[in-house]
Amino acid sequence: MVAIINEKNFFFYFFFICSNLQANVVYDYETNIFFKEIIKSITEVNNFKKNVSFAVILDDEPNAFITENNNLIISSGLIKFSDSYEAIVGVIAHEIGHIDKFHITKRKQSIEDLTNLNNLTNISILAGSLISNNNEYLFKSLIGNKLTIQNYFQSFSREQEREADFYAIETLNKLNLSSTPLKNLLKKIEEESRKKGIKDEFFRFSSHPIYKERYDIINNGNNNDDNIFDEKLNNRFNFIRGKFFGYTSNDIHEIDEFLEIQYYNYASSIILSKKGKLKKSLSGLNNLIKNNKENIHLIETKADILYSHGFFSEALLFYNLSINKNHKNYYVKKRIFDIKFSILNPDDKNESQALFNEYKFLLNIFYNNQDLIKKLAVLASENNLTYWISYFNVRQYLNNNEYDQKSLLNELKKIKKNTSDYDLIRLIDKIIL
């Protein structure tokens, strides 16, 4: 779900701050299910059994990487830079290769070992310099020692990158996909690097092989003559691209070179909406909906745009159409709750409690969403829901180290013991288990 229009103080829904990444995380159902399918195809063909958690972040630099906890991070720039879903498969396969080959574990162990070696060597050098009283020797030795360790570790990392590159090409071969889009993506990134003044010399100090070497890996590893290209999947990907271009661009003329006509029209509709040209925006979007009746996500975008312009009742109609097709689209369910909460009659206690009961489960989906927590806390208070009120009160202080954490956890355990509310029990378990 996407509603991020901000030239008239419109509401950016699907971007939230992730404190660990210090970046905007994108919450979008269409994007989410697309990457789940891509990851599933890669893991299945490689018989990789582990679950791969991922997040898409708002960053125009084309990038993907694995965190130390084996979480996959994908940038919005990667989506925008890729000409087809095949390039995405190649990049994601490269990152999953790092997990499959235990590269993160090896790197962490290597860093730990090298740190210990570094400390021991430095102690020896320092002792030698004190004996000889030669400060110049100390300085040169420490510098040389650090460069030796740095070069060793970078060489180790570069081998991992090569291994992940081979893993990606092997995956594309197993899936009967072309490697050309991946090579085209690398060429785009290389061109951008050149524009920024980054030359091959930089890669002497980088963990990644130089571009020429990576092209050779792709060319030598590609053994597919009969590629299988999924037009429907690529069409879905291009609508996602159009969406990202629309929400992250402000000038229609800046994007025409990147998108084919209908995806360009999609991006243009979103940009026009951001500029306050609602009628023109909806006109273009309605034509797309008419010609792509199977794409329910276009309906969702229409609802987002209407919501952003303050047409809540109209937006609700289209959100309901969307949710009828995608029952697991919790982002839309959250938006429907937001609308119902905003039009709620505070004097109608039955409606208030019904709204709370219907949407309290969202807390288990959007656990740290402060807007949702505040709204449901208001409803709990209005309806004198004692255990829920206690839960919200405890959560208010849990992240503050000034308060006695042990006492707060004991309070949660008491609430869990006395309540029969399944949603509340699940929430408390997330904290105390």
More confident residue, 157 or 275: 275
Determine the pLDDT at residue 347.
84
Given a cut of 50, whether residue 136 has pLDDT beyond it is: no
C-alpha dihedral (383, 385, 390, 393), degrees to nearest 10: -20
In whole angstroms, what is the distance from residue 241 CA to residue 171 CA? 23
Given a cut of 50, whether residue 134 has pLDDT beyond it is: no
- C-alpha distances out from residue 357 to 96, 329, 350, 414, Å: 40, 18, 11, 22
Determine the pLDDT at residue 16.
34
Q: Categorize the per-residue pLDDT at 3 as very low, low, confident or very high, splitting at 50, 70 and 90.
A: very low
C-alpha atoms less than 13 angstroms from C-alpha of 388 in its C-beta half-sphere: 23
pLDDT tens, position by position, 139-186: 444 445 544 544 444 444 778 888 888 899 999 999 999 999 999 998
Determine the pLDDT at residue 108.
55
Determine the pLDDT at residue 208.
57
Given a cut of 60, whether residue 247 has pLDDT beyond it is: yes
157 and 101 in contact (C-beta within 8 Å)?
no
In whole angstroms, what is the distance from residue 14 CA to residue 12 CA? 6
Q: Categorize the per-residue pLDDT at 97 as very low, low, confident or very high, splitting at 50, 70 and 90.
A: very high
Given a cut of 60, whether residue 326 has pLDDT beyond it is: yes
Q: Categorize the per-residue pLDDT at 21 as very low, low, confident or very high, splitting at 50, 70 and 90.
A: very low
Given a cut of 80, whether residue 121 has pLDDT beyond it is: no
Q: Is 344 helix (H, G, I), strand (E, B) or coil?
A: coil
More confident residue, 335 or 127: 335
Across 36-41, average pLDDT: 98
pLDDT tens, position by position, 201-219: 444 434 456 677 777 778 7
Can you give the pTM of this predicted structure? 0.79
- Count, in order, helices (H) and strands (E) of the chain: 18, 5
332 and 29 in contact (C-beta within 8 Å)?
yes
In whole angstroms, what is the distance from residue 77 CA to residue 81 CA? 6
pLDDT tens, position by position, 41-93: 999 999 999 999 999 999 998 989 888 778 899 999 999 999 999 999 999 99
Residue 179, C-beta contacts closer than 8 angstroms, at least 6 positions apart: 86, 90, 169, 172, 218, 221, 222, 224
Determine the pLDDT at residue 287.
97
Q: Categorize the per-residue pLDDT at 237 as very low, low, confident or very high, splitting at 50, 70 and 90.
A: very high
Q: Which amino acid appears at position 179 of this protein?
A: S
Determine the pLDDT at residue 150.
45
Determine the pLDDT at residue 80.
95
Determine the pLDDT at residue 312.
95
Determine the pLDDT at residue 410.
94
Across 350-357, average pLDDT: 96
Determine the pLDDT at residue 421.
96
In whole angstroms, what is the distance from residue 157 CA to residue 196 CA? 24
- C-alpha distances out from residue 139 to 125, 128, 134, Å: 10, 12, 9
Among the ranges given (32-46, 119-133, 298-312), the one the predictor scored with the smallest mean pLDDT: 119-133
Structure tokens at 255: 């994007």
More confident residue, 276 or 69: 276
Structure tokens at 308: 């952003």
Determine the pLDDT at residue 159.
80
More confident residue, 392 or 207: 392
- State CA 302 to chain mean position distance: 23
- As beta bridge partners, residue 65 has 73
Structure tokens at 204: 């002497």
How much is the mean pLDDT over the chain? 82
